[in-house]
Structure 1
Amino acid sequence: MDELRQLVEAYVPYNEQEERDRELILEQIDSERDILTRNNKNAHITVSGWVVSPDRKKVLMAYHNIYRSWAWLGGHADGDEDVRRVIKKEIQEESGLTEVKFLSDELFSLEILTVDGHEKRGEYVSSHLHLNVTFLLEGDTEAPLAVKPDENSRVGWIPADEIESRCSEPWFAERIYSKLCEKVKGI
């Protein structure tokens, strides 16, 4: 957990949301048990990838079955402290994309995400928090893609200027995806 804590501690927040969420994530890392696994029913670590095209104009997203919305790729740490390995695995599982390049060794974003109660694989999952860290990666828009039917029904490269209109989760569109698109423009 030391490497994760160092990544979060070294991260320079982009805005007030990230500043406040960074403080809380560090508090959770220091005080909670099992935050790398779903055994912590209140909050646990997740990893997302903001996968951009080489020209930075498109983002690889999947149409998420539970949330019925286009969403970034990512998932639970499930006990793995190597969050870079986790996101590479999640990207491959959720999109079929086998080759991605980290555009930085540092985190690109962080956020605390609320997850409403829902059914997953026939079982109810109570509302909880995802203590999320995000990496910026690049992928080949010509590489073959594949859905992961138990999680998503479509995968594709979405033009950055269309993300807000394709996302049916207003908070994500306005607070997270727009922030990530804005940050990419600055690179």
Structure 2
Amino acid sequence: MSLYDDAVLVLKGYEDQPDLRQAYLDHLAAHPDGMWKACHAGHLTASALVVDPSRGRVLLTLHRKLRMWLQMGGHCEPQDTSLEAAALREGTEESGIPGLTLLAGGPVRLDRHPIPAPCNWHLDVQYAALAPAGAAEAISDESLDLRWFAYDEVADVADESVVRLLEATRARL
């Protein structure tokens, strides 16, 4: 199965945010290249919010280009076999934590946000990743900083999309 086909199946199975879910499906139907950064009308991305439920905390990255505290995530790559695989790869690469596991049940949220031209839109499929006990993070080249925040600190440092993702993740835990 192609990454495109996987994305369509994942989105069809996602039961929340029906209008946004349909917008993602419509985008893919109109853009066979809608999984890739080269699609200037916008493209799907995959992200993973790394959480440590036993300690009530979340790992955020200070994005090098955007200079915002965000979850781990980014563009799909040709070796990704599924959206889950892309989210897990991004989470692992950007957190430096081996052994992350995605929270069962598929995506936690969808978030469409504008980005600078030529790409115009990211249609982010957001997962939650559980950090293993004793996880030690390691900063990547894509980040200015990497830091654990208590759940109740996230609203003070991150934008509303990250806060909504954390709320949805905590509801699933």
Relative to 1, partners in 2 of residues 1:81 and 1:128: Cα closer, same or farther, differing over 3 Å? farther
Q: Distance in 1 between matches of 2:105 and 2:55?
A: 18
Q: CA deviation at 1:56?
A: 6.7
Retained in 2: the 8 A contact 1:47–1:132?
Answer: yes
Give TM-score scaled by structure 1 length.
0.81
Match in the other structure for 1:165:
156
Give TM-score scaled by structure 2 length.
0.88
Aligned residue type for 1:164: A
Relative to 1, partners in 2 of residues 1:127 and 1:40: Cα closer, same or farther, differing over 3 Å? closer
Q: Distance in 2 between matches of 1:89 and 1:184?
A: 19
Retained in 2: the 8 A contact 1:61–1:155?
Answer: yes
Query: What per-residue deviation string (whole Å, max 9, x for no partner) do you get for residues 108-157 of structure 1?
Result: 11121211x2xxxxxxx5351011111122003632211112x1021122
Query: What per-residue deviation string (whole Å, max 9, x for no partner) do you get for residues 41-62 of structure 1?
Result: 1201100102211327211111
The gaps in structure 2 that reach 5 residues or longer are: none
Q: Distance in 2 between matches of 1:64 and 1:37?
A: 20
The gaps in structure 1 that reach 5 residues or longer are: 118-124, 168-172
- Runs of 4+ in structure 1 off by over 3 angstroms are none
Q: Distance in 1 between matches of 2:99 and 2:109?
A: 21
Relative to 1, partners in 2 of residues 1:109 and 1:29: Cα closer, same or farther, differing over 3 Å? same
Task: Give aligned-pair identity as a percent.
Answer: 24
Retained in 2: the 8 A contact 1:36–1:81?
Answer: no
Query: What per-residue deviation string (whole Å, max 9, x for no partner) do you get for residues 8-58 of structure 1?
Result: 111111xxxx33221110101111131111111120110010221132721
Relative to 1, partners in 2 of residues 1:142 and 1:156: Cα closer, same or farther, differing over 3 Å? farther
Aligned residues, how many? 168
Relative to 1, partners in 2 of residues 1:185 and 1:56: Cα closer, same or farther, differing over 3 Å? farther
Aligned residue type for 2:149: I
Retained in 1: the 8 A contact 2:37–2:119?
Answer: no
Q: Distance in 2 between matches of 1:30 and 1:64?
A: 31
